[in-house]
Amino acid sequence: MFEALQRHWRAFRAEPAGTRFQRRYRRRAERPSGWLRRIGVLVAATGLIIAGVAMLVLPGPGLLALFVAAVLIAEESLVAARLLDRVDFVISRRFAGRSDAP
């Protein structure tokens, strides 16, 4: 399970910034899926949004929960995917000159 997750993460990171989420949306849209899955994803995203907002004032990873919820919504909405691509592009340009080495 973790190998598959790592493989998906590497493929996602290998795509150019500013197109990652739209490409993921299009790949997801090409595969047939039922309305039940779509509703389940949106319900899970809504729950994560509620939990994330609560964790902003309570102890917990609130920003991470909100980000995961946004990614789940972007899988089902092209508008959300475009918005996340814009944010991804701005963030990647801002931190492009920085090094991870100490």
> pLDDT per residue over 81-98, tens digit each?
999 999 888 888 887 765
Residue 17 makes CB contacts below 8 A (sequence gap 6+) with: 85, 88, 89, 91, 92, 93
What is the C-alpha end-to-end distance of the chain, expressed in Å?
Answer: 32
> pLDDT per residue over 9-36, tens digit each?
888 888 888 888 898 888 888 887 778 8
Q: What are phi and psi of 19, to 5 degrees?
A: -130, -5
pTM of the model: 0.74
